[in-house]
Structure 1
Amino acid sequence: MGVRIEALEGNRLQLCGDIDTVLDVPARGITEGFSLAFSDGTLVGANWIPGGPACQFAIAAEGAAMVKIVRQGFGEALELDWNFDWITLACGTETLQPYALPDGEDVLQLTLDIEVKEVA
């Protein structure tokens, strides 16, 4: 079935489907944006839309999942068709960096170390 993610009142994200939970988006995520990383390698950037429970999503890196961004109220919902081992949320404008940062730069990044295991 996968997972559907949509915004709720109170700066929260509803995850439903194979994973049913509610995530609180910290204040920094509301003002600066946030990122979601998925165990299949998918990375998604998101911004909270002022004026109501609504988000705007953008795919930053494609993983194995089939991903759809669909209209939901004033914003969008994210639908992912995959069986995930984990999903993580990070807040701030610099959580997704496509290139390595210079040494000494103190910026948090959302990085994934995914080990591929082949079955013999």
Structure 2
Amino acid sequence: MPIRIEPAEGTRLKLGGDVETMVSLSLRAQREGFALAFSDGTLLRGSYDLKLRELRLQLASEGRSNCAIRRCRHGDMAMLDAPIDWISIAAGSDALSPSESSEEADATQLELAIRPALAA
């Protein structure tokens, strides 16, 4: 069953398909943006325009699923056409950026170097 991510009332995301849930965006995600990672390897960048009250989504890296992003009533909606085992959401402008090396062994952070996909 395809996965659908769309804006919900306020600053929330509605996930539908294999997963049915609502996710509230943190203040940091609202200010700086966020990233959505899917088990098939798909990565999306997201932002929320507080003035327009609209969600914006951008494909950062395509996974096994075909990902379609289209406009809907309150911003962008994304559809992934393959089953998903898990979804992870990270808040902040550094969510998809390499981090500085940590001196502490237990503070290691996964580093992702993602470039947005460019339309042909």
Shorter-chain TM-score tier: 0.7 to 0.9
SS of 2:95's equivalent? coil
Q: Aligned letter for 1:49?
A: D
Q: Which residue in the other structure is 2:118 paired with?
A: none
Contact 1:34 1:92 in 2 (8 A): yes
Alignment of 1:70-109 (within 5 A): 70-97=70-97, 100-104=98-102
Q: Residue 9 of structure 1 contacts residue 52 of structure 1 at CA under 8 Å; is this kept in 2?
A: no
RMSD: 2.3
Q: Percent identity?
A: 36
Gaps of 5+ in 1: 112-120
Unaligned ranges ≥5, structure 2: 113-120
| Corresponding residue number in structure 1 for 2:116 | none
- Provide the residue aligned with 2:117 in structure 1: none
How many residues align structurally? 109
**Matches for 1:1-120 after TM superposition, within 5 Å:** 1-51=1-51, 53-97=53-97, 100-104=98-102
Give the conservation status (yes or no) of the 8 Å contact 1:9–1:53.
Answer: no
Amino acid at match of 2:101: D
Q: Secondary structure at the match of 2:76?
A: strand
CA contact (8 A) 1:37 1:44 kept: yes
Note the alpha carbon deviations across 1:74-118, whole angstroms, 9 max, x for none: 411111111010001110001112xx5453599x6675xxxxxxx
Shift of 1:18: 1.5
Instruction: State the TM-score, normalizing by the size of structure 2.
Output: 0.79
Distance 1:90 1:101 in 2: 14
Contact 2:99–2:111 at 8 Å: present in 1 too? no
Change in Cα spacing, 1:51 to 1:38, as seen in structure 2 (3 Å) is same
Distance 1:110 1:54, change over 3 A: farther
